Amino acid sequence: MKLEQKVALVTGGASGIGLAIARRFLVEGAKVMLADINAAAAQMYAEELGDQCAYVEADLSGEAGAEAMVRASVDTFDRLDIAINAAGIGTLAPIVSQTVEQWDSILDLNLRGVFLSTKHEARQMVAQGDGGAIVNIASINAQQASEGMSAYCCSKAGVEMFTKVAAMELAEQGIRVTAIGPGIIDTPLAAPLIAFDTIREDFLENIPLGRMGTADDVANAALFLVSDEATWVTGTTLFVDGAELTKRYPALLHRFAEIQEGGSPN
């Protein structure tokens, strides 16, 4: 029960990594607020997970959504000790044909959403006066480039640097800020990629540990980072990737072109 009497807010909490983290935190004794733009899914999982879990609809592309989810957490559970900023989306588009709307949608949620979430989470923790822990979900693409993923890579690189700055600024208030950089994780976000056998094989060939990551792998890392076992850990990104970052990222645009030319999904 590493998180007994702690209150955690998890953005993107109704799917994939966010949901796995919420489940793990509940097992460890925390009270958890699921924040997600998909209110129906968040409600369903909150009801499934029991009376120590609640939900709030949150659109994190704007400041009002970030402020409201923190307020809901405090109104429901009286305080906020832990925040996991996992909400994010991806896209695949060559730079020469990528629209401004595509670019903005990725940056608005993946980077601005992390900034706004951290801003209001940290304000609450500062007001409480006894510190806290914030974990931002970045990606190996914060450091590893991938063709067709310019917006996503830039957004996650921004999350890694933002985490460093936030850790510097908030250390005096006892608030630790870290990030997790997952490799390819078998979640709904990655499903459109790994549904293709050839692309799945490309990923596996570049993971020294020889398997896809799971959302539980990331949840285990998140638990460590917010626990008392990590009280001197802040400002860093923990890469959870089976050593994928040591090799290369699949050439997705070329692979999809080959798939389309062959007329086969696999």
Q: What percentage of residues in the chain have a pLDDT greater than 90?
A: 92
Q: Which residue has the tokens 């670019």?
A: 103
Instruction: Give 263's pLDDT tier (boundaries 50, 70, 90).
Output: low
For the stretch 94-115, pLDDT in tens is 999 999 999 999 999 999 999 9
- The structure tokens listed for 197 are 């056998």
45, 55, 152, 249: the catalytic one is: 152
CATH number at residue 172: 3.40.50.720
**Adjacent-strand bridge partners of 54:** 33
How confident is the model at residue 259, as a pLDDT?
85
For the stretch 22-48, pLDDT in tens is 999 999 999 999 999 999 999 999 999
Please choose, from the candidates 145, 261, 249, 263, the residue with its C-alpha nearest in 3D space to the C-alpha of residue 206: 249
Q: Per the domain annotation, does 16 fall within a domain? A: yes
Q: Per the domain annotation, does 204 fall within a domain? A: no
**Greater model confidence, 40 or 61:** 40
How confident is the model at residue 264, as a pLDDT?
53
Q: Per the domain annotation, does 55 fall within a domain? A: yes
249 included as an active-site residue: no
Please choose, from the candidates 62, 86, 178, 174, the residue with its C-alpha nearest in 3D space to the C-alpha of residue 125: 174
Residue 173: give the domain boundaries: 7-186+214-246
- Report yes or no: 242 and 209 within 8 Å, Cβ to Cβ: yes
**Is pLDDT above 80 for 166?**
yes
What is the C-alpha separation between 266 and 257, in angstroms, rounded? Answer: 12
Q: Global pTM? A: 0.96
Q: Per the domain annotation, does 193 fall within a domain? A: no
Q: Per the domain annotation, does 77 fall within a domain? A: yes
Overall average pLDDT of the 211-234 stretch: 98
How confident is the model at residue 134, as a pLDDT?
99
Per the structure, how many domains does the chain have? 1
Q: Per the domain annotation, does 258 fall within a domain? A: no
